[in-house]
Structure 1
């Protein structure tokens, strides 16, 4: 029997991100993707204007109620964009219900990047998102999100001491394993810092490709989750996810409108991973 992931993300109809990324990528690794949409948007919120936005909190509750007689189980619960603070409580309930010693919860606290909180969220949402930290077996914030969650001043360029301090603060809030993305020690390189329970921090860097590409965090998280479900060790899974993101950026023409995300489909078609 194939393994499966419950992906709790929004559906952005245009712009490669969230479930339109998670479904094809996770499935490509031979893992069934089960969906629980948090919102329906005409496009994602980055760079587009006039987008439609439908909060699906009520429908999520109806779906979860309909699932109860099915006695479902999941090999991973992988969450991303939450449409409201109320949905965070719904997600906490999902993890309480379906979390076991054998499966893995991966929480991406999607709410900010490049030193700024996304416009659809406020300070109260940040506090609510912090409540999810103890519910994650693997927490995958970018640097901006980690700083917001720990009330730490954002730094565009970091060092090992700063990263250790940041992860330490996340641990104080209940974090188990942490995968920090967007880590930059020197100009021209970007990577990850991975810390498992009671283990030293490991870093991995790659050459930074210029430009801002929407949806790469969702690409990273989807590959990471799929590899973890397949039994890969966390640091190796994170390195694979970095490599996949880099290949996806390389596959995207320089002239392409970056709002539409990276052409990860070309990477899937190449069968490199």
Structure 2
């Protein structure tokens, strides 16, 4: 029986980020995919200096959740990305708790999109990290960058953290309730060189791993969406979290290499479509 998954994220009409990445990747991974839009845009929010059309979901977001609750419609897996405001986080968390008993808590993967380089993104306030921290109480895996993890925990931000600091930071997220933590965008030039970037994986038993992949020195948009979607695809089809991160890194490298080969603007997005067939075939092998 195929698993069904709900994506909670924004949808950019012509952009290659957020729901427009997660939906095709998770579909190729043989999930039955649904989506709860948090915001609809004409293109990704970073395009043209942020000069894009935005259509707020406002009441529609809550109405969709209420409709599903009335029909007792639930999902096997949940994955969250961009929330437009604190109210959306609260309403989703309420739906999740109201529709899953303590013995039937479905896996929840959280990408707490809210900031970078030590500060919140424009338009966000301090309520966002506080509300995501509450959501963390029921999270199977959370994948923040270091900024987002610091905003959620109050840990002092630094552009460069050693492993002891990463352990302390990840443990604070475990203390909030997350079962597994993946800190993204980790670099360690002394240990891995300047051309490697990756994940710091930490579990509540204290086990930790650093998993690196090739770094491309361009500001690509959507790498986090790809990484989370691939991680879910591999893990929910049987691989361990560590092996899922390794495979995700390989696939992400291929996506970025294919994109660089096109010699086009990063604003045109990551060319991830060539991996979809290989991903579908790999998932079929894992299921058989």
Question: TM-score w.r.t. structure 2 length?
Answer: 0.88
Residue 110 of structure 1 deviates from its aligned partner by: 0.6
1:12 — aligned with what? 12
Residue 251 (structure 2) aligns with: 244
TM superposition shift of 1:12: 1.0
Alpha carbons of 1:115 and 1:188: their partners in 2 closer, same or farther (altered >3 Å)?
farther
Following the alignment from structure 2 to structure 1, what is the Cα–Cα distance between the partners of residues 23 and 72? Answer: 22
In structure 2, the CA distance between the partners of 1:231 and 1:73, relative to structure 1 (3 Å rule), is: farther
For structure 2, which runs of at least 5 residues remain unmatched after alignment?
A: 283-288
Equivalent residues in 2 for 1:127-206 (5 A)? 127-186=130-189, 187-206=194-213
C-alpha separation between the residues in 1 aligned to 2:95 and 2:268? 31
Structure that is richer in helix per residue: 2
Distance 1:129 1:69 in 2: 25
Paired position in structure 1 for 2:76: 75
> How has the CA–CA distance of structure 1 residues 43 and 103 changed in structure 2, closer, same or farther, with 3 Å as cutoff?
same
- CA displacement 1:39-78 (0-9 Å, x = unmatched): 1111221243321222214112211222235433322111
Q: Determine if the alignment matches structure 1 residue 234 to structure 2 residue 235.
A: no
Determine helix, strand or coil for the equivalent of 1:68.
Answer: helix
Structure with the bigger RCO (C-alpha within 8 Å, sep 6+) is 1
Structure 1 length-normalised TM? 0.92
Superposed CA RMSD in Å reads: 1.9
1:36-115 residue pairs with structure 2 within 5 A?
A: 36-48=36-48, 49-99=50-100, 101=104, 103-115=106-118
Q: Note the alpha carbon deviations across 1:185-212, whole angstroms, 9 max, x for none.
A: 2232211111222141111112311111
Larger mean CA deviation between 82-91 and 184-193 belongs to 184-193
Please report how far the alpha carbon of residue 247 of structure 1 lies from its aligned counterpart in structure 2 after TM superposition.
1.1
Correspondence for 1:258: 266
Structure 2 match to 1:34:
34
CA-to-aligned-CA distance 1:2-51 (integer Å, 9 cap, x gap): 11111111111122111111110000011111111111111221243321
Q: In the TM superposition, what is the alpha-carbon distance from 1:269 to its structure 2 partner?
A: 4.2
